[in-house]
Amino acid sequence: MSTATYTVKGMTCGHCVSSVKEEVGEVAGVTEVEVDLATGLLTVNSDGPVDAAKIVAAVEEAGYEVAKP
């Protein structure tokens, strides 16, 4: 099992959280997605390593941006 965290910018409400969770949850290999609206923290659990670019693309598809580390 693998866990990765990202910071999402632009979320302001519960609908934002739902959108991000839905899009990221559709990425192949992802088993669990947690989003904290207050901190913008996105935690992604997966069976194995997932390409970070796919997670970033999913967040962007939902209409938000991943902060650069």
Domains by residue range for the chain, with CATH:
2-66 (3.30.70.100)
Mind listing the pLDDT tens digit for each residue in 39-48? 999 999 999 9
Task: With a cut of 90, say whether residue 68 has pLDDT above it.
Answer: no
Assign 2 a pLDDT band (cuts: 50, 70, 90): very high
**How far is the C-alpha of 49 from the C-alpha of 36, rounded, in Å?**
22
Predicted confidence band of residue 17 (pLDDT cuts 50, 70, 90): very high
pLDDT value of position 22: 98
Q: Angle, to 10 degrees, between the axis of helix 52-61 and the axis of helix 14-25? A: 140
Using DSSP's 3-state secondary structure scheme, residue 8 falls into: strand
pLDDT tens digits, 28-38 = 999 999 999 99
Q: Are 60 and 23 in contact (CB under 8 A)?
A: no
